[in-house]
Every structure is written in C-alpha cells, then in structure tokens.
Structure 1
Amino acid sequence: MAELLDGIRVVDLGGRLAGRLATTLLADQGADVIHVDRPGTVDVPADAFLLRARRRVTLDLTDPTERAVARRLAVRADVVVQNLRPDVPARFGLGYEDLREEAPHLVYLSLPGFPADDPRHAVPGWECVVDAATANCRIRAGEAPAGWDPERPTYSAVPVASNFAAFLGATGVAAALVERCRSGRGQHVSVPLSDAVFEAVGDAGGYPSARGVPTQKALRANGSGTYRSADGRYVQFNPIGASRRFLSWLLDAAGHPEWAASSDRWTGAEGEAALRALLGDLFATRTAAEWEELGARAGVPLAVVRTSREWLRTPHSHSSGSIVSMVDPVFGPTLMPGTAVEVVGAGERPARPRPRRPRDADRRAVLAESAADPRPPEPPGRAGERRRPLAGLTVLDLTQVLAGPTSARLLGELGASVVKINAPHRGVYAHGVVNRGKDSILLDVEREPGRRVFWALAEQADVVVANFTPGTAERYGIGPAHVLARCPGIVHVSVSCYGATGPWARGRGYETQAQAATGLMARAGGAGPPTVLGPYNLLDYGTGVLAAYAAVLGVLHRERTGAGCALATSLVRTAGHHQAAFLVDGAGVPSSTEPAGPTALGEHPLHGFHRTADGWLALGAAPEDLPRLAGVPGLAELAAFEGAEPDQEKLAAVLGELFLRRRADDWVPDLRAAGVGAHRVLGLSEVMADPAARARGRVVTQTSEEVGEVTLPGVTIGLSDTPLRTGAPARRPGADAERVLAAVGLADSLTDLERAWVVQTRDLPPAWPPV
C-alpha cells in the first residue's frame, strides 16, 4: 500500500514547536516535507524527532534573492505550514493572501498563538501565556498536595497548546486536501494555539448554562486512584463507570471474593474512604509488576507508573510501534516516538531520520527543483461546488467514553453524517458534548440481530470508527478485517489504549493508565508522588483528534486510489507525541532537565507564572527581552540584569517582589505594550464566558430538549472557504433509533428488535448528567 500522503509536497516555513510537530505528522505519512531554516538556527535534541523524514534548506528571508526562492517553493507546494509571529509571513510576501492568486491550489496552514480577529492577536503566544488564557495551568481535582492553594497555577513542560494545535492543524490540512479533490482549489487552514486548547477542555467546559461550569470531581469512584505497592513503586487503577465490575474482577483475582461480594457497602463518602483504605492496604502486599500482571489477567485497567525513560525501553512500546529506534546523523542510535497513525497490516514503516549533516545538505537539490519549473502545478481535482470536506459521507461510530466519540464528532463538523451506536441499558458518558451532531441508536452488536443491523449500516457507510478492547470486535465478527472484507471501499479506524499489537494490546486502559505507563504521571509528580497531568484529558481528546486525522487520511487515500484501508491509533501513541521533546533518548543524546512537579512555575523567571497583588499572571519573554522589560513602569530594576547571563534565582526573586506591587490587570497592558507576552491567569468560568471566544464560535450555546440551554466548546479548526459547523444539540442516547433504522430500510423491524432487547427506545439514559 502506498503511503497515505505520497506525492504531497509540503513547505514548512519554520517557527516554533506546533509547526514542526504538524509537519512531522504529515511527513510520517509520506509527504515530501521541505523545512526552511533561518540562518544561525541551532538544533536541539528534540529535533531528532521533530525534523525527521524531511529535507532541509537554509534561506535568509531578508535577502530578496533567497526570499524569491522561498516563494517559488511555496507556490509549487501542495501545502505551506507556518508557525511564525502573525506579521512575519506577510512582511516577506509569504502570507496566504500573497500566494493564493498565483497558487489557487495551495493549502496554507497558520498556527499563531492567538487568532487574527481576537483582541490579543498581537500577544506573543508563549506556551505559559496561552495556558493562562485557557485555564490550562491548574492541578486536577484530587491530585494536589496537602495544603495546596487552589488559586496557585502550576506549570507543565508538556506543551499541550502547541501539541493540540499541531494535531488539529494536520487534520485540517488533510481535510482541505480532500476538499481539493472535488473543487481543485486550496484554502487557508488556521488553528491558533488558544483555540486548540478548547478541544482539550472538552466535557470540562460542557454544562447546562443555568448550572455554570461544574466543579471538577476527583477520580475516586469504585476505588479509582494511584496506590503505592510493596516495592515502593506506584500503580494506577481506574475502574471507570457506574458498574463495579472491574473492582470485583480485581478483588476476585487478588483472592478476596468476600470483599467483592459485599461491595455494596462502599457507598457515600465514608464508604468510598473505607474502600480506598482497604485498597491501599491490599496494593501494599505485592510489587507493582505483580499487580500489573494480575490486572492484565483479570482484565482490569491497571498500570505501573513508569518514567518516560522506562517507557522508551518497555518491550511493548517497541513491538507496538509506539516507540522506534533510528540512527540519527547526530546522536547515532536514538529512541523516539513512532508514527501517530498506523496502517493496519502494513507493518510499522522504517522511520526515516532527519537529514544528514551538514544541515543544508539538501539545498542544491531543492533549489534545482524550484528553478526547473517555476510554475505552480495545475490545480488537481475538478472544479465543483465548495462544500465541507466530508460532505456526503457517512460515519458509523461504535466508540465509547471520550477519545473515539471525539473523533467522530470532528468528522461530523467536517461535514459527514454520523450514526452513533452505543450499547443498550447503559449510561453514555459526556454524551451532550462528544455526541452532538450525531444520530444515536442503542444497539447490541454482540447479538446476531444487532449485527445484522450493524452490517446494514456499515454497507452504506464510508468510515467506521471503533474502540473495542482489541479482540472484542473480532469475537463479534465485526473487526477491521471483517469490515474491509465485506465493504472493501470503507475506511476503518481503531482506537485503543495500548495499540493493536504487542503484549499489552488486549489490556484495558483509559487516560490515567496511558499517562501512568508512558511517563506523564511521573513527570507531573516530579520529586513527589506521581499525579495525573493537567486539568483536562490531554490523551483522550488528543487521541480523538489523531483518530479523526487517521480517518481523513483514509478518505483522502480513497479519493486518490479508490481503495479502503484500516488505520489505528492509541492513547500511548498520543502520549508519545505530547512528550516528543522528552522522548528522544540514546547514548549520544545529551541529558536535560525540565521544570516538573506541582510547584513548578515556569521554564525560567521570564517564562512562567508570577504572583501579583491580586492574583497570578503569565510572563512570556526571553533573556534578550530584558531591555524592553526594564522599560516597563515598575520594572526599572531589571536593567541590572542586562548584558550578561543573569543569575536566575536572583532574577526570580527581584521579579517576584516587583510583581507584588501591582494588580495583574495593571501589569498586563504595560507588559504587552513592551512587546512581550503577558496574560492574567484565568479560571475556566472566565474562559467559557470570553466574548471573543463566543463571537468566533469557540464557545457555543445550544438548546437541549432535555435541560434547556447548554454551553460547550465549539469548533477548533478554521477553514477559510469551507468552514466547519457545530453539530446539532445531542438528544438522549437512542432517541434517533427509528430514523437510523429507516435509513437502511429496517424501520419495520424496530418493534421486534426492541422486544428482543437488541434495540432500546424507552427509558433512555440522559444526555446531560443530573444535578
């Protein structure tokens, strides 16, 4: 099978992390990526991953001759990606408006910090500044150390905003290429980092408007939590859902059926506390490795908390393709994340290292290509009506919880019609947020009558998304191989915790298990006990975006070849891409340190959080910005640190004392006027009420037939000519059964299916959680 983006030429004009990660996602699927370095660029260890599988050329855009070369490269490309400051591309004649007339076929991706029509558009989008603007700097409920000040922010070196922008940007590019197959025309794709975080906010920002933003609850149901084992290591156990089945399975396997039989006593606050105490004593009786093995045998979501270095060397990470080894031209044999999307059955493709040294070794060939035919290629596709990229396609969504449903929700926003299948007589988590815009049916596909309905739906579908525990769909006879055998033109996407192959493939796991296994929890805990990273579910929602990326890649492949395919992604692959800067390791890779643990406030005093007279602010600046900072009213004392490598502790102490003299809202305008990044640290209620976010559709209100007005995150990918649309409000799960069956000629079967308990149409679960 040809690589999914074979023949697609991408020019990366450079910038920060988001652009490099987005082009890595494209390069890993076969795109020919040309990365443009500016003179004097210094590589960092993470570039072994972020610059792999591409060609490189150094161009000085201030030089007219070299600027003309960059323009020739851009107009001859299929895709241009830029993650530069907002005014830079246009200043050099390389903005979308500068190129679109000469290259109407061009798909152009911009990844700014803040959107052009936001009052903060000129604010430098440093990671901590975007985190402050999106409330992405709080400790998750139940994870804070004793005595923690809930108003205090915490800094994570994991760049969630940049990562989500890259994931969404690559998805938007693939979708625009699909649409180009119809219309023959490109368009501008825009994913500001501040918009991208709304995808991570997810259900945390979805609520009936009258109730306001809900208070986040700790993950404590059924004994869920992180426990210390006999060898001093930790395990993460998450028996998710209203059912106690996972807890009972664990207790049975541990030799305590009497506890499992009396689990009904662990209700209410006192009962939950008693259960956690009991589990704490139980987990202290065996080593972490023994518990992980027992949990795997019992089929429960349980994982050892590992460091990222341990994850890099875990046999499963290699056999699943989540981690690969390649010979980097600088570091030699090097471990790093594999591809985000796997082509099932094709085997893990050998990873291609970054270009050999010297950095500009590809210059002659790249320039020769651009000079050989300076004209842009003929627009591909055929001139036609411009509609959303997936308009006219049908998606069959068999997924549960967050990651899978998010992927299908995104496909619906891109124009597809989505049919949502859930199991009858169970609750559906976050239905009002992740399943909006879908037709919902409660159908039991485990039983033969339900499978007949499934096949009737699948035969009319273009995409199937499923996240059964690996092996389950195969047991039902509806696995990827079965679906493609019967529907050879379909795109099948599988989502799981650990991946489709490897010794852990059949293991159950959720956000917390994937965080534990891959080093995220250890990183968040720092020198203390491991903790769940982030106020939002960065792996669930990140995997949802990458599964949507996989589906759109599959659709593009089908548009170009006529063939269907089976693709897969997983929570642990997403975790690898979130930690890309830290998951590059080998004998030649220099060691590095990072701010870690709940008390971390930033990378250095000029990039992080500071307390003010009435709250906290984020400061985003570099050492070379000290002269400008010293010119800010109230910061003249910083002039003493100019001209030399400042003493970081002393600089932090001086800044800390100075910022306490004024309120955050007084500091921020003056700091921005000096040209540095600054933002008051917001709470989620403020983020969801932001007028700019609401005006741009990043926060929307809808009317639920069940609870009235609801508030939730809106669309996060901007397409200039075929914009995404938020799906219709979610009805109760199963409320669309009659319409779903009628669409495949089975309306007359509804009564019989309901009598057989295969379809549920009465006593439907709520779309929104009760008060």
Structure 2
Amino acid sequence: MTGAGALSGVRVVDFGHYVAGPLAALMLADQGADVIHVDRPGAVPAGADAFLNRNKRRITLDLKDSADLDVARELVRRADVLIENFRPGVMDRLGLGWAWSREASPGLLYCSLPGFAAADPRAGVPGWEGVIAAATGNCRIRAGYVPAGWDPTRPTYSAIPVASNFAAFCGAFAIVAGLTSRHRTGRGDRIEVPLYHAMFEAIGGSGAYPVARGLQPERAIRANGSGTYRCADGRHVQFNPIGATTRFLTWFLDAAGVAEWAGDGLTDRPRMDREPHLRDLLEKRLTALFLTRPALEWEELADAAGVPLAMVRTTAEWLESAHARATGEVVVLDDPLLGPAAMPGSPVSLSRTPAVPGRARSLPGGDRAEILAELAGPPVPVRHPRGGGLPYEGRKVVDLTQILAGPSAGRILAEFGADVVKINVPQRWVGAHGFVNRGKRTMLLDVKSSRGQEVLWRLIDEADVLTHNFPGRTADGYGLGYQHVRARRPDIVYVSVGCFARGGPWSDRRGYETQGQAATGIMARAGGEGPPAVFGPYNVLDYGTGTMAAFAAALGLYHLETTGQGQHAHTSLTQTGLYQQAWQLPRPLSGLGGLDARGPAALGPSPWQRYYQAADGWFFLGATEAQLPVLRRLAGLNPGEDSGGNSVAPAAPGNPTAPGSPEGSGDHEGSGIHEALGNREGSADAENSGDLGPALAAAFRADGAAVWVERLIAAGVGAHPVTSLGDLMTDPRARALGLTVQQVSEEAGDVVMPGLAITAEGNPPRLGEPVRRPGADGREVLDRIGLGDAADTLARGWAVQLDALPPGWNNF
C-alpha cells in the first residue's frame, strides 16, 4: 500500500508489539510508507489495535517455523526499514538480528526499541512501562497539584505510556533522518532508542543544572496568577498567562471588566516579586472571579483577548470537538470490528505531501495472500553503500521558536548534523536555554524591526529550514507567514508549532503545555475523581511536540532531498496530547477495573503491575499473570492457594513459549493490557487475586527495595526501585550510557544535563557543544552573512543585542 505521503515507496516490516514498535511504524505508514505488520499466531486484536495497526498490511507468521521464518527473512530483504521492540538478543535468537539483516540488506535501517539497551546492565530486565517510570522518576505528582497531607515519598501510577510513546516518536524521527542519509550514501544503519533512553528526552530541561547550584526543587507555576480554577458550572479552566511580561494577564483583566486590579499592583510583576502577598491576593481574586461565569464562557472570552486559557475537557470530548475533526487531528475510520471509530489522525501535517491515515486496519493475516504474491516477484537490487556523514550535515536551520517545544526540535536537528542559528528576542530572559539550545549558535534579534528583518532575511536566504511557534496571524503580521517565505524561498522547509493544529477554528489560539493537557483530557485523567491536575513531573507535551516537530522537519527534508521541493510542516501540543493517550483509543477503556488507572492515588492496574512499599522505599513490580505463582513463592505465600486460603487453578501460561510468540510475555517492553493484566474473564488466578495486593504489600515491607528488586529480577520478574530525578542525573549507569552528561558552560561552569536519547551504530548523532550565553554568537552570525561591519550600528538601533546579555542559566 502506498500513498501520496512523503514516504511513498518506502517499505517497512513491523515486528513490533504493545505500543512503541507499532506506533513508530504507524507514524511512517501515515506518511505513505508501505508497512507490513507481523502478527504472532493466535494474536487477538484488542485495545488500541484499531489505531496502532491502521494503514498497514498484516501477515501472521510463526517465527519458530522454518517456512514462516523464510517468509520473514524475505520481507526483511525487501524492506527499507525494520522495526522491533523485543528485549536485546531476542531477534538474534530468531535469526533476524542486526548481524544477519545487515548482510542480507546493506541498505536496511534497523530500528530497535527495547526497554533497556543491550549495553545497560539491566538489559535482561523486562522493561514494563511502570518499571521504566520507576527507573526515571516519572511517578511524581506535579508541583502545585499535590493533595493535602500527601506523603512525598509515595509514587503515583499513570496509564499513559510515556516511555513507549517517546521511544516511538524518537524512533520515527531517527528512521526518516536515516532514510535521508541513505538516499545520499546507500548505507543502512542500526538505530536504537530504548525506552529508558527515551525518557531523557521527556525529562529535558528538568534535569539540567549547574553543578555549583545543584538540582533545584520542583516549584509550582504561579506567575501572573497561573493555575487551574473552578468555574460557575462546576467545570475548570487552566489559565496560564506566563511570559516575560504581564501582557496576557492585563489583556484578560481588561476583557473580564476588572482592569482596576492593576491599581492594586496586581499586574506589576517586579512589585509582586518584592511583595509576595500580592501574588496570593491575585490568586484569591481570580478564584472568586472565575466562579462568576461558566468555563466555556471564560474560554471564549480568553480566546477573543488572545490569552492562554483552556477549559478542562475529557479525552472523549476532544475526540468529538469541531476543531479536532476539522484539522484532521481526529479521523473516523470504518473499522472491521468497531464500525465507525474516532481516533488520532497524523501527529504532523505537511502541505505538499499530506498524511494518508485513511485505511482502517486489516485483521491479523488479512493480507497474507497479497504479500506472499509480492514476495514471489523479482528480488530487490542490493544497495552498495558509499560515503557517510550525518543526515543534516550542510543543512542550515533558522530557529525562531521559544520556550521548550520548538527549541527542542532545533536541538535534535543539530544533533543530527544541522547548523542551527537560534534567534531570541532582545532584552528577555531565555527559559531552559542551557539545554534546549545546546549545539546551536545563539543570537538576539528584533524580528519586528525593519533592520532586524533585513538580518533575518539574510539568514533565511541561506537556510534550508525555518522553524517558529508564532500563532498564525502573528507570523503573518511579521511578514513571516509561509506564503511570504515561500515567495522568496520556494524550496524552504517551513516548520510551525502551535498549541492547536492548523486549519480549524482554534488554529490561532495561544496555549502552553497546560492548555494542551487541559483540552485533550490529560488533566482530567491526572486528577481522577478529584480536581483536574497537570500531569506528571515532566513536560510530556512540550518535549513530545519538540520531537514531533523534528519528525515533521525530517519528513520535509527527506522530500526536499528526493524531489528538491519545499513545503509547510506543522505540529501542535494537542496532536501530541492525543498521541500520548492513543493506546486507549479509539474507544477509551471502561468497565475494566484498573486498566485505566488514573488519579494521584493510583499505584497500578493490577496486583502484579503496581508500586509497592518496601522497608526502606518504594519499587515497581512488573509481572505477568503467568508469574503469580513465582510472586507468591517469593513473598512467602502458599503457591497453591490465594491469600485467603482458597484453592486456585494454575496460572494462565501467558503464552511464553508458544510457536510464533518467541518474545514471551516478559520480553514485551511495557505493561500492556493483555500480557501484563492477563485474561480477566478466563483465569482463576485473575479472579481470585483480590487479596493478593494486600498480601504482597504486607510481605514486601519485610525487606528493603533493593533486596526485593534483586530477588524478583533473578526470578525473571520485572522490578525497579523508585529513583529520584537527582539520583537519576548522577547515576553511574546513566552516565556510562551517555544519558547524563557534564559539560562546561562559559557562564555557569560545570553543568549537568540529559545526553542523547537516540543511538545510531554507523552514523552516531553528535552531542552539541554547550550553548553560550543568549546572543553571544551574534557578531559571528552577522559576519557569516556579510553584515559584520554593520554590527555596532544594528546594536545601537536595537535590531540586535550584542552586549549586557541575559543569563542562560536561571538564577545563576
């Protein structure tokens, strides 16, 4: 199956399962790649299968049967890309590993998405989603949303598979970058994005700090009255008037008819910083103000005023919203089992090569005859590699984005070889600069001034990519809309990032991470039965959208490489928000107990997949239903009885060694809803495990977390102690894997930050040099575009800022 997408003509063989592998393959399929998904015998489509395997063809193969293995090998020989997410070594044991694949097809891009890397001492630990969350500190409540009386050492579980999602996002980007490089060189490569590695992309600037200051405690965002407020109809809005000035707060107060608050100093940011009681007064007044109107009315008022505010919706409400439907952020496909089913569309949109997510899934084995007939055709010519080099060496990027999402895309492009010039506004503090702008040259330029525009257009004339996150009407007002840039540079890859997708009634609305979470249902999920809450300790929409924007740029650059044509690519926080929750779509799970564990009190979806408290701390237990006898034995419970003394049948086998299931239940990379939770209807162990959780909880308190984790891992069960962010960033294992790095900043001295989440064996991405203080490369940039002699004149006219530069590390 091919389409009009940027990847038309690319063939992918997808050996993935659960989320990471199938999701990465889906992102390629929606851009026109011909993806063949390999199912194991007896696979029963359920859960997110309608979403994850749409737009693909399917064949069922028993990889322990020699004839089916031959079919799999022929698929690999004819493929451009292979995707798998087994534990390290599984594909080698099957005879489909990198060593064999490289010999069979030198031009193959082999993408592996395991739980832990082969080089990690935890490579053999089943990398369930909760295990990775515990290992990376992704189990804390967001500062500012901690319930009263909360034990700060207690973890919280979320059903959102953040690690699997980020691995898929990073993997899809790296594959398209690899295809771009291969187009020039003919050379394939082995790409690896373990789930553990991928979480460092999600951590982002939260893990970056000067050594002299240390990692600072997480703080709630309260600037300018930012917060979640209850409204007259009992619903909530997320209000986030942050920024370098109080302009959003002023606009909102004017629109709400309370402009007189300014007279009390409530829009005077320096005064509020000096007099903290004013900040409390502002929050108190806003709390009363929001109670005077319903949430939707406040949302409409804020939209008219240009203020970042969104009503908190459920995921189901966003799936039905006019904006999501109009933009293609949500599509409806006629599924063979579900009928018309709403699900996320493509996470990115491209003007010249639109996504093609229009084919409902096939059921397992549904395309076997067609695929086998193709394999009987002439063999695919073997590629002969020549040369090398990073995918974007020689490519130039002008990065106008601000905050986290857009700058992260520029950083990722720089890691893959691009020369990136980062432009910020003069006389402003630059947030998270030390991490998100690593590897770039930095300049402070007023793009609104006529002289500033002269400088900018000189840069654009030499660029291959322009990125920005202005609202559409703002970009047009600056003369920087796609139509303006395309008129001068028709081959430019123009990447825009917004809170909401383009082409619908909300396209120009402002918003940040919190508005994206509010609109798409993530805040409702995080709050559970209580008030809505901002999800997680990390900015999963900002950094997720940064990776998606890099993916969009990669698609544009691949199309440019192969056709010479530029185009407009776009992605948004809300598109990423749906993708973060996509494993529960098209139909949100309901009536299935802990499958959709939500709210701060959640510890896990089942007794064998949850956090437990040991004598000295917490750990996550990641087991399968088949391993319940092992758990009972290790915990000192009678393996032949449940915790109440009732006789139970043997545990369901979990199909660990059945033909066609070589990975076994423990080789999956995440907790899933089938292997981890078992057959809820047919298993005596599942039905008689109601008391198992309390029994295990009591038993696990007898020893320390490290002791239990060691015992569980030795028995083949997944487990990991809960790790704080501070400990993670200094963990010798993370340091040895290049996931935490220490560099020297000219401003702050030794600094620690996340390293590279993506590895490529033959063409490894580069860790960028520490970025200098914002604007420190201004003169060099001007020299390169022939304006060095005008530097001082431009500075006197405030077109550029070259001296008295703002800090790049907060409070340093």
TM-score normalised by structure 1 residue count? 0.97
Is the 1:204–1:214 Cα contact (8 Å) retained in structure 2?
Answer: no
Shift of residue 551 of structure 1? 0.7
Aligned pairs for 1:63-212 (under 5 A) are 63-212=65-214
Aligned pairs for 1:529-540 (under 5 A) are 529-540=531-542
The residue number in structure 2 matching 1:748 is 789
Distance 1:634 1:116 in 2: 33
The residue number in structure 2 matching 1:320 is 327
The residue number in structure 2 matching 1:664 is 705
Does residue 259 in structure 1 map to residue 266 in structure 2? no
The residue number in structure 1 matching 2:377 is 372
Aligned pairs for 1:243-258 (under 5 A) are 243-258=245-260
Distance 2:748 2:756 in 1: 22
Give the secondary-structure state (helix, strand or coil) at the position aligned to 1:566. Answer: strand
Identity of aligned residues (%): 52
Give the secondary-structure state (helix, strand or coil) at the position aligned to 2:497. Answer: strand
The residue number in structure 1 matching 2:63 is 61
Aligned pairs for 1:203-602 (under 5 A) are 203-261=205-263, 262-263=265-266, 264=268, 266-267=272-273, 268-344=275-351, 349=356, 351-355=358-362, 357=363, 359-373=364-378, 375-379=379-383, 383-585=385-587, 594-602=596-604
Compare 629-638 and 265-274 and name the one that shifted more.
629-638
Compare 625-634 and 744-753 and name the one that shifted more.
625-634
The residue type equivalent to 1:304 in the other structure is M
Summarize deviations over 1:561-603 as a string: whole Å, max 9, x none: 11111110000000011010233139xx986551110000011
Q: 1:730 aligns with which of 771, 781, 796?
A: 771
The residue type equivalent to 1:298 in the other structure is A
Q: 1:675 aligns with which of 684, 694, 716?
A: 716
The residue type equivalent to 1:426 in the other structure is R
Give the secondary-structure state (helix, strand or coil) at the position aligned to 1:211. Answer: coil
> Alpha carbons of 1:377 and 1:590: their partners in 2 closer, same or farther (altered >3 Å)?
farther
Compare 341-350 and 718-727 and name the one that shifted more.
341-350
Summarize deviations over 1:489-547 as a string: whole Å, max 9, x none: 22111100002221111110000000000000000001100000010000000000010
Count of paired positions: 764
Distance 2:328 2:98 in 1: 36
Summarize deviations over 1:202-221 as a string: whole Å, max 9, x none: 11100001222211110111
Give the secondary-structure state (helix, strand or coil) at the position aligned to 1:48. Answer: helix
Compare 704-713 and 262-271 and name the one that shifted more.
262-271
Distance 2:304 2:791 in 1: 39
Compare 69-78 and 316-325 and name the one that shifted more.
316-325
Distance 1:120 1:260 in 2: 56
Shift of residue 621 of structure 1? 0.8
Summarize deviations over 1:329-388 as a string: whole Å, max 9, x none: 111111010101101366664622112x4x312001111212223x44332xx7433111
The residue number in structure 2 matching 1:645 is 685
Summarize deviations over 1:67-99 as a string: whole Å, max 9, x none: 111011011100000012223211110111121
The residue type equivalent to 1:280 in the other structure is T
Is the 2:54–2:357 Cα contact (8 Å) retained in structure 1?
Answer: no
Distance 2:349 2:420 in 1: 23
Is the 1:137–1:534 Cα contact (8 Å) retained in structure 2?
Answer: yes
Distance 2:28 2:356 in 1: 14
Shift of residue 181 of structure 1? 1.2
Is the 2:5–2:356 Cα contact (8 Å) retained in structure 1?
Answer: no
Give the secondary-structure state (helix, strand or coil) at the position aligned to 1:281. Answer: helix
The residue number in structure 1 matching 2:669 is none
Is the 1:633–1:670 Cα contact (8 Å) retained in structure 2?
Answer: no
Aligned pairs for 1:686-765 (under 5 A) are 686-765=727-806
Q: 1:621 aligns with which of 601, 623, 629?
A: 623
Distance 1:606 1:7 in 2: 44
Shift of residue 242 of structure 1? 3.6
Distance 1:483 1:189 in 2: 34
Is the 1:266–1:274 Cα contact (8 Å) retained in structure 2?
Answer: no
Distance 1:350 1:575 in 2: 18
The residue type equivalent to 2:442 in the other structure is S
TM-score normalised by structure 2 residue count? 0.92
Shift of residue 392 of structure 1? 1.2
> Alpha carbons of 1:273 and 1:637: their partners in 2 closer, same or farther (altered >3 Å)?
farther
The residue number in structure 1 matching 2:665 is none
Distance 2:795 2:60 in 1: 66
Shift of residue 633 of structure 1? 6.2
Shift of residue 153 of structure 1? 0.4
Give the secondary-structure state (helix, strand or coil) at the position aligned to 2:158. Answer: coil
Is the 1:308–1:583 Cα contact (8 Å) retained in structure 2?
Answer: no
Is the 1:252–1:260 Cα contact (8 Å) retained in structure 2?
Answer: no
Shift of residue 693 of structure 1? 1.2
Shift of residue 488 of structure 1? 1.6
Summarize deviations over 1:469-489 as a string: whole Å, max 9, x none: 121111111112221221122
Unaligned runs of 5+ in 1: none
Distance 1:210 1:370 in 2: 61
Shift of residue 639 of structure 1? 5.4
> Alpha carbons of 1:115 and 1:661: their partners in 2 closer, same or farther (altered >3 Å)?
same
Distance 2:206 2:721 in 1: 21
Distance 1:258 1:345 in 2: 50
The residue type equivalent to 2:802 in the other structure is T
Distance 2:253 2:574 in 1: 27
Is the 1:498–1:572 Cα contact (8 Å) retained in structure 2?
Answer: yes
Distance 2:354 2:708 in 1: 54
Does residue 607 in structure 1 map to residue 648 in structure 2? no
The residue type equivalent to 1:594 in the other structure is D
Shift of residue 637 of structure 1? 5.2
Is the 1:618–1:680 Cα contact (8 Å) retained in structure 2?
Answer: yes
Summarize deviations over 1:253-295 as a string: whole Å, max 9, x none: 1001111343235444322221111100010011001100110
The residue type equivalent to 1:236 in the other structure is Q
The residue type equivalent to 1:717 in the other structure is I
Distance 2:473 2:353 in 1: 19
Distance 1:633 1:255 in 2: 63
The residue type equivalent to 1:733 in the other structure is P
The residue type equivalent to 2:798 in the other structure is W
Is the 1:707–1:768 Cα contact (8 Å) retained in structure 2?
Answer: yes
The residue type equivalent to 1:322 in the other structure is E
**Cα RMSD (Å) of the superposition?**
1.6
